[in-house]
Structure 1
Amino acid sequence: MVVVLKTDKDVVKIKKALANRQFKKFDAKKFCGVLKTDDDALKIQQRLRDEWN
């Protein structure tokens, strides 16, 4: 997350606002094993990286 702070704002108010902020947690476990493939994971990664060049 990126927070842009203006220099004319009160630092104490900004710190309070950030302390009270509720962050959503990402549950990566629910996606574990979702992608089914017959190919090797390393080969998929290399093929995707080769697309960038």
Structure 2
Amino acid sequence: MVLVLKKGASKKDIEAIESVLYKEPVTGGFNAKKYNGKLALKENPLAIQNKLRNEWERDIS
């Protein structure tokens, strides 16, 4: 959405634009707890993390 506010706009014009802008409710953000326990792992999460982080240190020969 694009709203144009020109230089020298009256207070009434500014209030009209603000009412359009602030009409939509603000979203609450990301709820990470919704995904808690959804991924079934067969290995310890710390072991998986260590494998991924040490991947670049392995010898490629």
Length-normalised TM-score, structure 1:
0.48
Structure showing greater Rg: 2
Q: Which has the higher contact order (CA 8 A, sep 6+)?
A: 2
TM-score (norm 2): 0.43
